[in-house]
Amino acid sequence: MTGGGFGVKYLAAALALGLVFSGTVAKAQTRIGGVDTTFRFLGSNDRVVIDRYDDPDVPNVSCYVSRAETGGVKGSLGLAEDPSRFSIACRAVGPVSWPTNLPKKQRIFTSSLSVFFKTLEVYRLLDADKKVILYVVISSRLKDGSPYNSITAVPTGPTP
């Protein structure tokens, strides 16, 4: 077997596993929209998209995540790796009560960012002293993650 054959088989296996795992990863509940940032002659433009995720365990909390999507030919084919930079804003869209019986830290959303095992993850953390629910968005890979992150807080109960 030649070195090129091994590389092609490795790439095909990685793509196949990516497709298998992409079916088990939760997608955004709602795509709110997006804006183009860079014009591309071939393929779609680079853009910033905004997705909404509703917290599955805390009623009346919606999280809005903005992130970059790479366009071009690779982006149009789903082969481009999106940058690991994003922003999150979670808001109370109705009355929010302090959650009981939830872990102090829990991953609540995962979305695939590339066929090469890169994901966007949103974690919920509870600040019991202040009765505040915190959400942080990060990027992870099979091997390593990114230090880029964004955080937001949602108070519970009546506003003081």
Residue 48 predicted with pLDDT over 60: yes
Q: Is the pLDDT of residue 136 over 60?
A: yes
Average pLDDT, the chain: 76
Q: What is the pLDDT of residue 117?
A: 65
**pLDDT value for 26:** 38
Residue 22's nearest CA partner among 106, 117, 109, 107 is 117
**What is the predicted pLDDT for the residue at 146?**
67
What's residue 15's pLDDT? Answer: 36
Burial per residue of 129-147, b for 16 or more beta-carbon CB atoms within 10 angstroms, e otherwise: eeeebbbebbbbeeeeeee
Give the model's pLDDT for residue 12.
Answer: 38
Residue of higher predicted confidence among 39 and 154: 154
pLDDT at residue 16, as a whole number: 37
How large a percentage of the chain has pLDDT more than 90? Answer: 38
Instruction: Answer yes or no: is pLDDT of 5 > 90.
Output: no
Q: What is the pLDDT of residue 69?
A: 79
User: Which position has the token pair 């982006």?
Assistant: 75
pTM reported for the whole predicted model? 0.71
The whole-angstrom separation of Cα 157 and Cα 159 is 7
